[in-house]
Amino acid sequence: MATKNDNEVRVSSDLSEGEIKAIQKRRERVKTCLHELLDVHFDEDKVPNIVVLGSGGGLRAMIALLGTLVELKNQNILDAVMYLCGVSGSTWCMSMLYTDSKWSEKLSLEENLINILTVDSWDISKAIDYLEESSEDENYSLTDVWTCVVYKILHQFDEKELTDYKDASESGINPYPIYAAVDKEKLNEACAGASSPGTWFEFTPHEAGYTALGAFVSTENFGSKFENGKLMEKKKEKNICYMQGLWGSALGSMEENLKAIRDYIEWLLRRLLSSCETRTCSPCGYGHEGISNTTEFSQAALLLLELQPCAVSGRDPEEVFNKLLKILSGK
């Protein structure tokens, strides 16, 4: 059994103590379920690890995973699942399920969706307060901003921590959860053709770390400072709402994000041009002398929107400003 000091980085390919204990309890339920389904008897150490993997895809992935789990329950198969794993939208579903220590025994698609999506608790002042507080942290980033977007999507701001849901993971009643996030730097290396085994960073209620590299810290210490494998500065554990933003991995590939933004802008401009085709348009109204046709208007609009990717990527916007001034001055 893997043992470790919670104030140290655990370097090992073994499972954590918490996960081992949880799986031992879950194994009995899986064994019983498979026996009833297949009329097959498994020895204790031969029970298979059946895993449900939830994909990414935002709200659609969240609903799809929930629907899949409900159908598994209806077919009396859910108790055969040892692990429940997900990334992005699937983790949003998982984090909500594990607020209930016995969720797998009373799963309902309609009731869960109503509870999740129809109660709008979005509060802009709460989001602003969160961002102001987060900005004081040295690790403040776009992930904190994305967290507020997820808050808006899910209508919930879960201020509990992942470690609060150990009971729902350790009792054996539910599958053991593993939440995954994409490591941006490792993903970029992999996309460039380099060997990057640490692309996935995984979280459980007990530990967080790189499974491929075999390096873990206690989940309650995720975000704290370590030096030479020792805890040097304890930080407050991140709440579930932040983790939902992090697991969402929307910022994992900046190139893909910028491409999506550009594609959307081009689509909007095509619609604009089709409606202004026979008219003279400008930012100040039709017939303005500064910009005399739709081509110049579309160029100016594109340049204005290009400033946002510049800010996100850190690219110098001077060239964009110069082009914009040239168009506006009519030169």
List the structure tokens of 168: 């729902």
% pLDDT > 90, the chain: 43
State residue 69's pLDDT score: 95
State residue 265's pLDDT score: 67
Measured distance CA(133)–CA(17) in Å, rounded: 34
Examine the pLDDT at 260 and tell me if it is beyond 90.
no
Going from the N-terminus, what domains does the chain have, and what CATH number goes with each? Answer: 10-248 (3.40.1090.10), 254-328 (no CATH)
State residue 280's pLDDT score: 46
**pLDDT by residue (tens digit) across 63-115?**
999 999 999 999 999 999 999 999 999 999 999 999 999 999 988 777 777 77
* C-alpha distances in Å from residue 290, one per residue of 282, 283, 302, 318: 8, 9, 17, 21
**Over the chain, what is the mean pLDDT?**
81
Examine the pLDDT at 279 and tell me if it is beyond 50.
no
Phi, psi of 246 (to 5 degrees): -65, -45
% pLDDT > 70, the chain: 72
- What's the CA angle centered on 57, arms 310 and 144, to 5 degrees? 45
List the structure tokens of 130: 């969160």
- What's the CA angle centered on 11, arms 6 and 14, to 5 degrees? 90
Query: Model confidence at 319, in pLDDT bands (50, 70, 90)?
Result: confident
Question: Who contacts 56 (Cβ-Cβ below 8 Å, separation ≥6)?
Answer: 87, 88, 89, 90, 249
State residue 268's pLDDT score: 65
Phi, psi of 123 (to 5 degrees): -135, 110
State residue 286's pLDDT score: 41
Examine the pLDDT at 149 and tell me if it is beyond 80.
yes
Query: Model confidence at 21, in pLDDT bands (50, 70, 90)?
Result: very high
- The reported pTM is 0.74
Task: Please tell me the least confidently modeled range out of 48-57, 118-127, 180-189, 192-201.
Answer: 192-201
List the structure tokens of 40: 């097959």
What DSSP letter does each residue of 237-295 carry, written as one string?
Answer: PPBHHHHHHHHH-TTS-HHHHHHHHHHHHHHHHHHHHHHHTTS---TT-TT-TT--SHH
- Alpha-carbon dihedral 299, 301, 307, 308, rounded to 10 degrees: -130
Measured distance CA(210)–CA(200) in Å, rounded: 7
Task: Please tell me the least confidently modeled range out of 25-39, 45-59, 227-241, 259-273.
Answer: 259-273
Examine the pLDDT at 305 and tell me if it is beyond 80.
no
State residue 123's pLDDT score: 83
**pLDDT by residue (tens digit) across 29-44?**
999 999 999 998 888 8
At 160, is the secondary structure helix, strand, or coil?
coil
Residue 212 burial by Cβ neighbours in a 10 Å radius (0-12, 13-18, 19+): middle
Measured distance CA(314)–CA(330) in Å, rounded: 29
State residue 188's pLDDT score: 53
Provide the H-helix boundaries in 75-183. 89-97, 109-117, 124-134, 142-154, 166-170
